[in-house]
A and B are shown apart, each in its own frame.
Chain A
Amino acid sequence: MTTKRTHITIRNNKIFKNGVLFFEAAPYLTLKDFLKAAWKNLKVKYPKFYKMDEVSKLGVLAAEILLIDEPHKAFNEEEVGVILSNAHSTLVTDTEHWNSVKDDSNFFPSPAVFVYTLPNIMVGEICIKHKFKGENAFFITEQYDAEMIFQHFNLLKTQNKIKAAIGGWVDQSQDDYLVEMFWAE
């Protein structure tokens, strides 16, 4: 039987763990500053966090809190997958990259920006930090479809490809963001 053990929600500069407020920052803080405050609050030493774009930071932050109780320690690295989704792919970072190349007279593409113009990079960042080597997938849907993500995980589990997974939704648009992330096994 599959159970969803933990659930993280991040919205409006608030983080909820299993429905209980875990961290909040002033609502007027930009996403950038909220992410910095939330990450520092965890007291995790991982300077790579600051190189990521905002949507990847959201995903990595959520995963970090999701895994605080270490549900993943019961599994080996190949048994844990990461299945995420969103509506906007990496649109905010795409715009940043486009702005650096659209004008030939001010043409300075940055590899550190470009690499983040793929939505599955956040999956990669989570896998790197926590050493997850199982199945990956990134879906784009108009709204969060928890059932679809859960079904995908269940099918993979039925086929013995993975035994547990981080799943959910990490979305950032030009003026909003939302994270819904769960741990399932």
Chain B
Amino acid sequence: MKQVYFTGDSIISSLGFSSQENFNQLKNGITGIRKMNNPVFYPEPFIASLIDRQKVNVLFPDDQYTLLEKILILSVKDALKSSYVDISSGKTVIILSTTKGNIDLLDKSLAARFDKQRVLLWKLGEMIAGYFGNPNKVRVISNACISGVLAINDAAMLLQNDIYENAVVVGGDIVSKFVLSGFMSFHSLSPEPCKPFDTNRDGLSLGEAAGTVILSVNPPKQNEKLLFAGGASANDANHISGPSRTGEGSYIAIKKALKEAEIETANIDHISAHGTATPYNDDMESIALSRHNMSSIPVNSMKGFWGHTLGAAGIIETIALLWEMKHNTLIQTKGFQEAGTVEPLNVITQTEQKELNYCLKMASGFGGCNAVLVIKKVNS
């Protein structure tokens, strides 16, 4: 099995147009979640974390591309700057993670400018590959909120097994009337910015973002390297929208990922949870971690900064984890004040320093799916 290295990355979100910009805001405890009042999205005021869309159009004025395509492409372009990977090479595969793609094109007024096919996710992939001149078919993963982590796991597996040398993993979703109204019908949106793990948590906040992480079997030049150590997915086999009361899928995924990484639970220095701030999700994760005796490991959720960015979540939150590891910094859980999960969690409440060598990323989604990955730091 080949070693898989993390090379460049990029986050485009409400907090900025690069990973560095975003990480600075995380360190300073700044959230991108805002109160919004825009009937285009929803008939009543709502809470969400939106990208500066005007700036997107300034950076990428070509209106032959949709909003989502613009932010995905901008994200890939930015990530390539800090990577040595050639995206136009046949040895590089692009993997796209998205839940609803260009779903705003169902709106006839927007759709007029674009071909009907653009709403299809494989076509979205083609637009990205076409822009960068990549010759391979884009692998499009649409697996609810675990899409991002699943896409990184898929990339690693392809590289470990010599199918490709490099993988550009890009993910994104936009806030739209389609998605906002759907979550509203579930009464799962908080009327305030979300509070992960908090005793008063009452729902998630939606966000939009694009994230890119670039993996390669060719090691980066620097001494300190971050590698993919293991990953797995598992289904709760319980309910299509309610998380498992025993954290079953998360438990199994963590078990398999740690086995692949050849480490014990005690080796994990820090966990970036899914932490959507719904009553059930956060309880479920606390149960899964408790079953693994991992309750005392410092854990955070990024959802209080970016909101839940769906297809982008697994990617941008993994990038945040990579940056935490690079800087041996634990970022606080924005929105958290008082513990309130059924099993205890060691929630990071203040940004602080810690030596980080092995970290775990968790994700869960509608359909009872769960996915995790493990990152390790190596000094040569």
**Chain A residues in the interface with B (C-beta under 8 A):** 77-78, 82, 87-89, 91, 94-95, 97-98, 101-102, 104, 107, 109-111, 114-115, 117-121, 123-125, 127-128, 130-142, 145, 148, 151-152, 155-156, 158-159, 161
Contact = CB atoms under 8 A, between A and B. Distances in A.
Given A118-B99, A120-B369, A137 B141 contact: yes
A139 B235 CA distance: 16
B178 interface: yes
Contact of B106 (A87, A94, A159): A94
A121 B100 CA distance: 13
A120 B120 contact: no
B248 A115 contact: no
Given A133-B235, A161-B256, A118 B144 contact: yes
Contacts of B235: 82, 123-124, 127, 132-134, 136
Contacts of B154: 137, 152
Contacts of A119: 142-143
27 contacts: A78-B252, A94-B100, A94-B106, A94-B178, A95-B106, A107-B181, A111-B185, A114-B183, A117-B178, A120-B142, A120-B144, A120-B369, A121-B240, A121-B366, A123-B369, A124-B235, A124-B368, A125-B240, A127-B235, A133-B252, A136-B367, A137-B141, A137-B233, A140-B122, A151-B163, A158-B161, A159-B160
Query: When A and B form their complex, which 8 residue pairs have the shortest distance between CB atoms, in order from nearest?
Result: A124-B367, A114-B182, A109-B185, A127-B235, A140-B121, A140-B140, A101-B181, A109-B181
A172 to B, nearest CB: 13
Dominant secondary structure at the B interface: mixed
B91 interface: no
Chain B interface residue bracket vs A: 35 or more
Contact of A138 (B141, B183, B184, B260): B141
Contacts of A134: 234-235
A117 B181 CA distance: 12
A124 B240 contact: yes
B121 A133 contact: no
B107 interface: yes
A98 B178 contact: yes
B234 A135 contact: yes
Given A114-B182, A117-B182, A87 B142 contact: no
A51 to B, nearest CB: 9
Given A91-B119, A123-B369, A141-B137, 16 more contacts: A87-B122, A89-B120, A111-B185, A115-B186, A115-B366, A118-B143, A120-B365, A124-B366, A127-B235, A127-B236, A135-B234, A137-B141, A140-B120, A140-B140, A151-B163, A155-B161
